[in-house]
Chain A
Amino acid sequence: EIAVAEFHKKIKEAFEVFDHESNNTVDVREIGTIIRSLGCCPSEGELHDLIAEIEEEEPTGYIRFEKFLPVMTEILLERRYRPIPEDVLLRAFEVLDTAKHGFLTKDELIKYMTEEGEPFSQEEMEEMLSAAIDPESNSINYKDYISMMVIDEN
């Protein structure tokens, strides 16, 4: 009802910002950004599956709004792919910080992020390092880092 109508408008707004030719399509490489800008946090694997669902039968490299809208609406209605709360994120860093120093070294971070889980690309790694690493100590004080990111987002 009203909630769905509101979701539709919200989704349309987020989609249109990336619809550069104003023809109700976006480049498939922007879909992840759009979905995440709407507050959802699918993993890379989940994103991959979603794209397969909304792509054309014969992939064109573009996603049409008509296909995107129903899938995205459902995601929002079901509150799927909820974002990570701050405290869970902090604990994740603490788990990796086996020596309980309060920080991770640059090399440790690189090793974890590029070799495990859904590995970062080089670009992603460099970007994270540029903001996270204190150049003097060559390490990341993750608690400060998280606080800074949270402030920036709000």
Chain B
Amino acid sequence: MGCNTSSTRIKNSQTSLRAVLIIQNWYRGYKARLKARQQYALTIFQSIEYADEQDQIQLCNFFSFMLENYTHIRKEEIELSQLTESKQDMRDKQDYIHLIDVPDSYQGPRLQFPLTCADIDLLLEAFKGKQILHARYVLEVLFETQKLLKQMPNFTQIQTSPSKEVTVCGDLHGKLDDLFLIFYKNGLPSGSNPYVFNGDFVDRGRNSIEVLMILCVSFLVYPNDLHLNRGNHEDYMMNLRYGFTKEILHKYKVHGKKILQTLEELYTWLPIGTIIDNEILVVHGGISETTDLNLLHRVERNKMKSVLMPPKEINKDCNNDSKPSKVGVTISAHGRIKASGCPSEHLPKHEWEQVVDILWSDPRGKKGCFPNTGRGGGCYFGPDITSKILNKFQLKMIIRSHECKPEGYEICHGGKVVTIFSASNYYEEDSNRGAYVKLCSGANPRFFQYQVTDATCFQPLHQRVSTMENSAIKILRERMISRKTDLIHAFQHQDRRKSGKLPVSQWAFCMESILGLHLPWRSLSSNLATIDENGNIEYMSSFRNIHIEKPIKEANSALVEILYRYRSDLEIIFNAIDTDHSGLISMEEFRTMWKLFSSHYNLHIDDSQVNKIANIMDLNRDGSIDFTEFLKAFYVVHKYEAMIKPEATNLGT
């Protein structure tokens, strides 16, 4: 009896051991696949983000192209206006501000100049209560901030000590909750608690202006202890595409334009970087092999209007600018771009390139320095470049931001380069943590991570991953539909036998080359298309439950697709033409712009088709088009979901 039970016991325990092993093995496999799916989603978000930046750069090339070609167009066709910088303007601005009345009915925070830390608290409380700061105060803060920034050198020098550590924060991108969390965890800025904010305060998030206001007010109260570096999004052209301009115009309907004008100039006065304890360089993007800090110390940084508007070659004549308005190539935007080429207005090309490198570059593991093809600006710099530049200028480390990292920070190049990113949940709920780093001479950097939590964080892991994955796939499918014609063309070209199916590798090849995104297509294929029993992809299935809503029945699909694909670019261009910011442009402007646009982007679209659309859009028959409505009319419909308008997707703005 004893023998039987013990052998049964052993057998039972062996069986149960096997069972436990099976469950553990299965669970670990499942968990790993979840993690992989999460990483795929992040890769998708990131690729599309960078591809958008490339589009932005291409758009700026288009602006240059426009500038060069305008002289061939009749001057009367486009209204031009000009604004020159002068002392007169400063006085005008000040007068303007003081003319703005803050009504008694205004419930929001009232700032008292000169500002004190009480105003910082006031603002924080007000913004937590979702209040909006009155335009009068916004303008005053910006005005005072710019005055003070002008006195700052290109690189601020900071010294730390054991009792005075400095905290460096990365991209915030309008995410107010993250700023609140940082201040909660790390304390408010003060004489004993200095901060460096390393650029990209605005765009994408919903509270860019609030974030900027808190930073500016803190700067005004503690100018020696709150340091702001310029990021690539402190740029009015980027704001047009990535949401800040929209946010301002939405929140400040009367004075928005003035605020934008003020911002445009303020950006140019932001310092390029910070140097801590003479050994740590803090800049937004990175460096290149030609980075020359001595040069950068000397450049007139305020001549860097938009990082994306390259100066023309100096030998192009700038005599055109001697006469105002109608001559040559002034386009009015919220900030008045002038014809580049006049050396007095803009940086010389090599200086401009140096600044772009600082604001746009990314570190990579590969040695050497290569053009940053992902973003289209700046470069990829390897560990050898880091060593070379650090040695050349007797520095020990670079702290930079610019790239979203899952843990909020990342160390590379053997500890010489640190990326710090402070906007948690940047792409989607749970996509990443945020972080900040505290530095003190003689001690190792200390990293602190956080994540803004939401109800979703209490969901189990697989649900959070699902949400993120669905979001990424949706964005990817919208990208596919906006290039449907080209994709189908490529698929059919490969599909010799017209079977409607392609082997995975050929399908992947088409996807990568047409969309221009380097993604794990094989792993994603099951999410994007139907796969048959043999593992072949039915390529048309991707386009089944999704289509672009046609604003007018008569418009042909190819045109609709192109207008959808370029809607961001078109919006920016229209904004640039719309001088009085009425939201309307004339038919003539539209036609001219379209001609130029399609010529530059090599679009083979029948002009008459476009005219037809424009005519129909001219609803009140007064010869003008409400372009916001025009562009809103193009959005993607996902068949089994509620209609998705472009503003609703994370990366749509």
Binding site for B on A (CB under 8 A): 5-6, 9-10, 13-14, 16-18, 20-25, 32-37, 40-41, 43-44, 83-84, 88-89, 91-93, 95-96, 112-113, 116-120, 124, 127-128, 130-131, 149, 152-153
B523, A13: Cβ atoms closer than 8 Å: yes
Complex CA–CA separation, A116 to B21 (angstroms): 8
- For A132, give the chain B residue with the smallest CB separation: B460
A16, B504: Cβ atoms closer than 8 Å: no
Size band of the interface chain B makes with A: 35 or more
B364, A32: Cβ atoms closer than 8 Å: no
- For A86, give the chain B residue with the smallest CB separation: B26
Asked whether A32 and B20 contact (CB < 8 A) given A13-B520, A131-B462, the answer is no
A37, B36: Cβ atoms closer than 8 Å: yes
Could you say which of B18, B22, B26, B36 contacts A14, with CB atoms under 8 Å apart?
A: B36
Could you say which of A93, A95, A120, A149 contacts B30, with CB atoms under 8 Å apart?
A: A149
B20: chain A residues within 8 A (beta carbon): 92, 96, 112-113, 116-117
Complex CA–CA separation, A38 to B590 (angstroms): 51
- Can you list 20 residue pairs at the A/B interface with Cβ under 8 Å? A13-B520, A16-B518, A21-B363, A22-B365, A33-B32, A37-B523, A43-B25, A44-B28, A83-B26, A84-B22, A84-B29, A92-B20, A96-B16, A96-B19, A96-B23, A116-B20, A117-B20, A117-B21, A127-B461, A152-B462
* Chain A CB within 8 A of B33 CB: yes
* Chain A CB within 8 A of B412 CB: yes
Could you say which of A13, A22, A95 contacts B16, with CB atoms under 8 Å apart?
A: A95
- For B535, give the chain A residue with the smallest CB separation: A6
- For B466, give the chain A residue with the smallest CB separation: A152
B251: chain A residues within 8 A (beta carbon): none
* Chain A CB within 8 A of B291 CB: no
CB distance from B630 to the nearest CB of A (A): 39
Complex CA–CA separation, A128 to B31 (angstroms): 9
- For A125, give the chain B residue with the smallest CB separation: B27
* Chain A CB within 8 A of B612 CB: no
B27: chain A residues within 8 A (beta carbon): 120, 124, 128
User: DSSP class of B's interface residues: helix, strand, loop or mixed?
Assistant: helix
CB distance from B363 to the nearest CB of A (A): 8
A6: chain B residues within 8 A (beta carbon): 504-505
A23, B16: Cβ atoms closer than 8 Å: no
Q: Which of A5, A20, A34, A124 counts the most chain B CB atoms within 10 A?
A: A20
User: DSSP class of A's interface residues: helix, strand, loop or mixed?
Assistant: helix
A149: chain B residues within 8 A (beta carbon): 30, 462
A112: chain B residues within 8 A (beta carbon): 16, 20, 23
- For B524, give the chain A residue with the smallest CB separation: A13
A95, B28: Cβ atoms closer than 8 Å: no
A14: chain B residues within 8 A (beta carbon): 36, 520, 523
B31, A13: Cβ atoms closer than 8 Å: no
* Chain A CB within 8 A of B388 CB: no
A9, B505: Cβ atoms closer than 8 Å: yes
* Chain A CB within 8 A of B410 CB: yes
B36, A36: Cβ atoms closer than 8 Å: yes
A130, B21: Cβ atoms closer than 8 Å: no
Complex CA–CA separation, A13 to B518 (angstroms): 9
A32: chain B residues within 8 A (beta carbon): 28, 32
Counting from the closest, the 4 A-B pairs by CB-CB distance are: A23-B365, A21-B365, A36-B32, A37-B36
Complex CA–CA separation, A36 to B31 (angstroms): 9
Could you say which of B363, B412, B460 contacts A131, with CB atoms under 8 Å apart?
A: B460
CB distance from B653 to the nearest CB of A (A): 27
CB distance from A41 to the nearest CB of B (A): 4
A84, B25: Cβ atoms closer than 8 Å: yes
Asked whether A17 and B520 contact (CB < 8 A) given A33-B36, A92-B23, A113-B24, the answer is yes
CB distance from A60 to the nearest CB of B (A): 12
Q: Which of B35, B463, B504 counts the most chain A CB atoms within 10 A?
A: B35
CB distance from A103 to the nearest CB of B (A): 14
- For B35, give the chain A residue with the smallest CB separation: A33
Within B1-44, the residues touching A (CB, 8 Å) are: 15-33, 35-36, 39-40, 43
B25: chain A residues within 8 A (beta carbon): 41, 43, 84, 118
B522, A13: Cβ atoms closer than 8 Å: yes
- For A21, give the chain B residue with the smallest CB separation: B365
CB distance from A136 to the nearest CB of B (A): 16
- For B365, give the chain A residue with the smallest CB separation: A23
A25, B365: Cβ atoms closer than 8 Å: yes
* Chain A CB within 8 A of B128 CB: no
- For B32, give the chain A residue with the smallest CB separation: A36
Complex CA–CA separation, A10 to B522 (angstroms): 6
B23: chain A residues within 8 A (beta carbon): 89, 92-93, 96, 112-113
Could you say which of B31, B33, B40 contacts A17, with CB atoms under 8 Å apart?
A: B40
* Chain A CB within 8 A of B366 CB: yes
Given contacts A25-B365, A36-B28, A91-B19, 10 further A-B contacts (CB under 8 A): A5-B505, A17-B43, A23-B364, A33-B32, A33-B36, A95-B15, A96-B16, A113-B23, A117-B24, A130-B460
Asked whether A93 and B19 contact (CB < 8 A) given A34-B36, A127-B31, A128-B27, the answer is yes
* Chain A CB within 8 A of B521 CB: yes
CB distance from A131 to the nearest CB of B (A): 4
Complex CA–CA separation, A21 to B381 (angstroms): 11
CB distance from B523 to the nearest CB of A (A): 6
A124, B31: Cβ atoms closer than 8 Å: yes
B461, A23: Cβ atoms closer than 8 Å: no
A9: chain B residues within 8 A (beta carbon): 505, 508, 522
B600-639 near A? 1/0 per residue, CB < 8 Å: 0000000000000000000000000000000000000000
A23: chain B residues within 8 A (beta carbon): 364-366
B364, A21: Cβ atoms closer than 8 Å: yes
Complex CA–CA separation, A106 to B24 (angstroms): 15
- For B23, give the chain A residue with the smallest CB separation: A92
CB distance from B421 to the nearest CB of A (A): 13
